[in-house]
Amino acid sequence: MSKLLSETLKGRRALVTGGNRGIGRAIALQLAEAGADIMINFVGSEEEAEATAAECRAFGVQAVCCYADISKEEDVAKLFAEMVQQLGGVDILVNNAGITRDALLLRLSADDFDAVLSTNLRGAFLCMKQASKLMMKQRFGRIINISSVVALRGNAGQVNYAASKAGIIGMTKSLARELASRNVTVNALAPGFIETAMTAELPEAVRAKMLEGIPAGRMGQPEDVAAAALFLASPQAAYITGQVLRVDGGMAM
């Protein structure tokens, strides 16, 4: 980690949704290394969440886990109550949790459309609403929403996913205007083709085709996205809000 950013988040408290694996895990670890106490939200493997929390604690910070289905308003309320109880508040929110239910439009069921928007878009909305109450009161906050390059360029077979991630960009810009006067920034990251368990399931031919469209000539790593999240959470990004930062190796230029 850059010396410029090391320990810049000491005393801050960060909530990372879907923080048990992939991009969320990498973000939680980088924020912890920078000194932030971490709440890892998960809905899948508790074992993965606890393992990530243990890695965070190795940096000398507090790290706790909390199960919550962020598509449910009551779960989100309990998640933030638990965050306040265990860590004392919320300074940084990373809306990372997301799912896919891919299919071409004519084969895409209404249930699969709703499921993706419910987690990816409604979940981010519910978390931002809870976080905003706390951040406005304390007159400080950093909200970082994980969107996707798919929101910017579309992708066949992902109408529902693209809609959810494009919606996140719209919410990011709107909320940034609402909270800027309270010293709360709201930004989005748009990762490209990142090496995760999700992309590992793609056929080799599909992976090769996608790589052809990346000027950098390689897939990104979760740590590439985490580094951008760390910057947006840091004091160095205090005058940046309402922005969408692509982390895609030039894929969406």
Kindly list the catalytic residues. 161
- Cα separation, 85 vs 199, in Å, equals 36
Burial environment of residue 88 by CB neighbours within 10 A (0 to 12, 13 to 18, 19 or more):
exposed
User: 22-33 vs 46-57: helix axis angle to the nearest 10?
Assistant: 20
Burial zone of 165 (CB within 10 Å; 0-12 exposed, 13-18 middle, 19+ buried):
buried
Tokens of 145: 């929403």
- Say if CB 83 and CB 131 are below 8 A apart: no
Q: What gap in Å lies between CA 85 and CA 78, rounded to an integer?
A: 10
Answer whether 71's CB lies under 8 Å from 122's CB.
yes
Q: Are 64 and 40 in contact (CB under 8 A)?
A: yes
3-state secondary structure of 118: helix
